[in-house]
Amino acid sequence: MSKLLDDVVGELAKLPGVGRRTALRLSMHLLRMEREQVGDMAGAMTRFRNEIRYCVRCNNLSDEELCPICANPARDRSTVCVVEQVGDVMSIENSRQYNGLYHVLGGVISPMQGIAPSDLKIDLLLENIARGGIREVILAVSTTVEGETTLFYLLNKLKQFPDLKVTTIARGIGFGDEIEYADELTIAHALHNRREVSR
């Protein structure tokens, strides 16, 4: 077999969820792309890996010392939305419903995977709050066991700031979700947090 092909298949198969068969399919796709396009893709990968930084304030991925959101003077600096990972920032930004800052924990507490609170950017969050100016912290972590563990850990840590408003995002039936297939905990939350409809 061609060494060039063997190399690219072997390299691409290192990506998560990509086996040798998929890697071969991706490699064949590279052949159908222009050389310049493949160069652009490879260049974006190495530049991303070599030059990306973490925002010193919120731990989001950033090209500069401060990420575009923290650097934006139009954002509401009194509200911080705490999320697990970078993708969550993108999802919330896409909703166009939030104008505050973020704080990226970089994961959730997971004894099973050996992720302790000290592995997350929790101290940075507490420092930012202690510095003053933040009035509300929105905890937007997943409703998984690990997420809930992280939530309770954070709630406990935030007790040291009695004037701080701490909220969690609403739990309920998602749009497009069928009640029939929702789990009991979600239904319990959705019922408990029911809202009166104005008529």
CA distance 170 to 66: 29
Q: Does 35 bind its own copies (CB under 8 A)?
A: yes
Q: Does 174 bind its own copies (CB under 8 A)?
A: no
- Of the candidate residues 19, 71, 78, 87, the single one contacting its own copies (CB under 8 A): 87
Q: Does 182 bind its own copies (CB under 8 A)?
A: no
Where do the H-state alpha helices sit in the chain? 3-12, 20-32, 35-51, 68-71, 86-95, 122-130, 145-157, 184-192
Q: Does 163 bind its own copies (CB under 8 A)?
A: no
Q: Does 71 bind its own copies (CB under 8 A)?
A: no
Could you tell me how many residues of this chain bind its own copies (CB under 8 A)?
54
Local structure of 166: helix, strand or coil? strand
Closest CA to 148 of 171, 180, 127: 171
Tokens coding 198: 């104005």
CA distance 180 to 196: 22
Minimum distance from residue 147 beta carbon to its own copies (Å): 18
Q: Phi-psi region for residue 174, left (φ > 0), alpha (ψ -120 to 50) or beta?
A: beta
Q: Does 7 bind its own copies (CB under 8 A)?
A: yes
CA distance 146 to 149: 5
Q: Does 176 bind its own copies (CB under 8 A)?
A: no
CA atoms within 13 A on the CB side of 69: 26
Which of the ranges 12-20, 108-116, 171-179, 189-197 carries the binding residues for its own copies, by CB under 8 A?
12-20
Q: Which amino acid is at 34?
A: E
Minimum distance from residue 5 beta carbon to its own copies (Å): 5
The DSSP call for residue 176 is: T
- Of the candidate residues 19, 43, 65, 152, the single one contacting its own copies (CB under 8 A): 43
- Of the candidate residues 8, 66, 173, 182, the single one contacting its own copies (CB under 8 A): 8
Which of the ranges 29-37, 151-159, 165-173, 175-183 carries the binding residues for its own copies, by CB under 8 A?
29-37
- The footprint of its own copies (CB under 8 A) covers 1-5, 7-8, 10-12, 14-17, 21-22, 24-31, 33, 35, 37-52, 60-63, 67-68, 85-87, 89-90, 93
